[in-house]
Structure 1
Amino acid sequence: MEDVLDIYHEPYDEKRPVVCFDETSKALRGHKRDPLPAEPGAVARVDTHYKRNGKKKLHLATEPLTGWVNVEITEKRRTCEWIDRMVELADEHYPDADCIRVVLDNLNTHNPAAFYRFFPPDEAHAYLDRFEFHYTPKHGSWLNMAEIEIGTLKRQCLDRRIYHAATLRSEVAAWQDRRNAADGLIDWQFTTDDARIKLRQLYPVPLEVD
């Protein structure tokens, strides 16, 4: 926890960006009956029954100190998809960075050693040399600022039925463009000192030395 909190309060360094990464999903659902729009004296109404059309995985990366956000949509959430997202960070989004520091949770697919499953050893080693992974503790996913962006995405874009994958992609892309144009920085206030006071019950009691 303190490792993540400390990195959040370091000054901005374009050569060592801090990127938060997390995943979520969206079930594709459509209306069986057309919704009834709002009218004088009546609110909009939507039938509780719906048509299913599968589910998509959303992979979100955000740099809190610049307001940049990127969302990729895939069929599955496996180690290979995570590797693809990290390669995109290194090759497309931060090609000039010396070290990309990624905050993420301890999901078993978030395994740096897996680079060696998908690349020759020298290439895998070269990628890993450019990353520094900072994992949130178990039951501490709230420490990942990517969850803040995912919450915003759900409220502003995903809070309705979307049936077609193409519609989902276009809607998420439009949301991403608006979000990046707004330069919405995340002002993280919680510090290590705050944690030692407010979460002191999580800390072990120091042993007494005779």
Structure 2
Amino acid sequence: MGRKSIVINLSAEEREYLETQTRARTIQAQTVNRARILLLKAEGCPINEIADKVGINRKSVMLCLNKYAEGGVENALFDAPGRGRNAEITDDEKAWIINIACQKPIDFGYAAETWTYAKLTSHINKNAEAAGFTRLSTIHKSTVHSILDEAEIKPFRIKYYCENRDPDFESKMHNVLLVYKQLSMQFDKNGQFIPWEEDKQAIHMLSYDEKPGIQATATTSPDLLPDENHSTISRDYEYKRLGTVSLLAGIDLQTGEAIPLISETHNSKDSIEFLKVLDSKYPKGDKIRLVLDNLKVHTSEVTRKYLSTVPGRFEFVFTPKHGSWLNMIEGFFSKMTKQMLRGIRVKTKEELKERIYKYFDEINEEPVIFHWKYNLDDIDVSEEVIVDTLSAKKSS
């Protein structure tokens, strides 16, 4: 005689509980499958049909139904306590998820550079079973988010840093700071510059750099100024490009005077023109010491040829590569961008030049002397500053 078929009659509460289990994304896959078996059987589905729909063999379906017959819903869903229940998400499973998140999508054949939670979860769902983590095939992205958040992993963000590619970074930085330390000794306690002694050669110290690619842009319609109905300037989104200019500038670290030169180009000839401006500005016989970066235009053959015509006049103190923050004029450029260049609109490129020069005139009406304070305590002022005249050197 045939064995009596198991009949399942679920209460409304049991049915709701089982449906909740099938929608869960943080429990074992086998628990989800067992909940589906009970629901399908309650609807009257045959054993073979249940096995096909759930994707398991007939024997596993029968085992689940027998456990239900023996002890009800909870007994069918979960293994006996003596056998032990695994954690919802094991450490190995978490480690596998984190390992994937710490790689780029392109490493798995995708086009994206960084993960989104949706894309990462989709990849986990598709590859979990093959990796031996079957339950993760139904994990929800909110769970992935929680796992990565707990591990403090943010695979969707890129944090930029600057690789130190200058083997002489420390020595060059020390040299620049030595200049600033010795410069600070030339001011009294009231911040007044102490003039050079008559029997000593004067050294004028400047912080120098270029700001290329300043865009001259024009509005396509007049700006609408603030009125009783509008609290801000209103401007048409469209604009017209008029070209770019390059600003070469130096800050006299002893007087605070800002010295500009605007050019249509950005090359060695422009750098030489600025050196000529300085040469004509300061008394003959004095030294002009510049803190600047080691850009090619500062060490080119044409620059060295010019320096050879004014021997002993200029001394270069180079900042290390990726050490532009050591050059005090960078702060001036930042201030200039905020105060004058941001949002600027002009009718011609010449107007842009005139307004830049006007800005320098305004600054020089009340010059500000820049003082470097960071990390100077360990600098020995008795050391000698390593300068470079370049006149007898080959271009690096």
Same fold flag (TM > 0.5): yes
Contact 1:58 1:73 in 2 (8 A): yes
Corresponding position of 1:22: 209
Corresponding position of 1:150: 333
* Closer/same/farther in 2, CA of residues 190 and 72 from structure 1, 3 Å limit: same
Corresponding position of 1:95: 283
In 2, the alpha carbon distance for the partners of 1:64 and 1:129 equals 20
Corresponding position of 2:321: 138
More helix by share: 2
* Closer/same/farther in 2, CA of residues 68 and 97 from structure 1, 3 Å limit: farther
In 1, the alpha carbon distance for the partners of 2:285 and 2:372 equals 23
1:141 to partner: Cα distance: 0.1
Indicate whether 1:185 and 2:372 are aligned: no
In 2, the alpha carbon distance for the partners of 1:107 and 1:70 equals 20
Question: Tell me, what secondary structure is at the counterpart of 1:167?
Answer: helix
* Closer/same/farther in 2, CA of residues 167 and 194 from structure 1, 3 Å limit: farther
Contact 1:34 1:46 in 2 (8 A): yes
- State, as a whole percentage, how many aligned pairs show the same letter: 29
1:34 to partner: Cα distance: 1.8
Indicate whether 1:164 and 2:348 are aligned: yes
In 1, the alpha carbon distance for the partners of 2:348 and 2:378 equals 45
1:115 to partner: Cα distance: 3.4
Contact 2:216 2:345 in 1 (8 A): yes
For 2:269, give the aligned amino acid. C
1:194 to partner: Cα distance: 6.8
Corresponding position of 1:125: 308
Question: Tell me, what secondary structure is at the counterpart of 1:76?
Answer: coil
Corresponding position of 2:181: 9
In 2, the alpha carbon distance for the partners of 1:82 and 1:54 equals 20
For 1:65, give the aligned amino acid. Q
For 1:143, give the aligned amino acid. L
Match of 2:226 among 38, 46, 69: 38
For 1:157, give the aligned amino acid. M
Deviation digits for residues 87-107 of structure 1 (CA, Å, limit 9, x no counterpart): 2211x2113352111011111
In 1, the alpha carbon distance for the partners of 2:297 and 2:364 equals 28
1:113 to partner: Cα distance: 4.5
1:116 to partner: Cα distance: 4.7
Please list every run of 5 or more consecutive structure 1 residues that lacks an aligned counterpart in the other structure.
196-210
In 1, the alpha carbon distance for the partners of 2:371 and 2:222 equals 41
For 1:39, give the aligned amino acid. D
1:139 to partner: Cα distance: 1.1
In 2, the alpha carbon distance for the partners of 1:163 and 1:191 equals 45
In 2, the alpha carbon distance for the partners of 1:169 and 1:35 equals 21
Indicate whether 1:52 and 2:264 are aligned: no
Question: Tell me, what secondary structure is at the counterpart of 1:129?
Answer: coil
In 2, the alpha carbon distance for the partners of 1:77 and 1:172 equals 17
1:39 to partner: Cα distance: 1.6
| Alignment coverage as a number of residue pairs | 189
Question: Tell me, what secondary structure is at the counterpart of 1:17?
Answer: strand
Contact 2:294 2:318 in 1 (8 A): yes
* Closer/same/farther in 2, CA of residues 96 and 129 from structure 1, 3 Å limit: same
Question: Tell me, what secondary structure is at the counterpart of 1:185?
Answer: coil
Please list every run of 5 or more consecutive structure 2 residues that lacks an aligned counterpart in the other structure.
1-172, 187-194, 197-201, 380-396
For 2:236, give the aligned amino acid. D
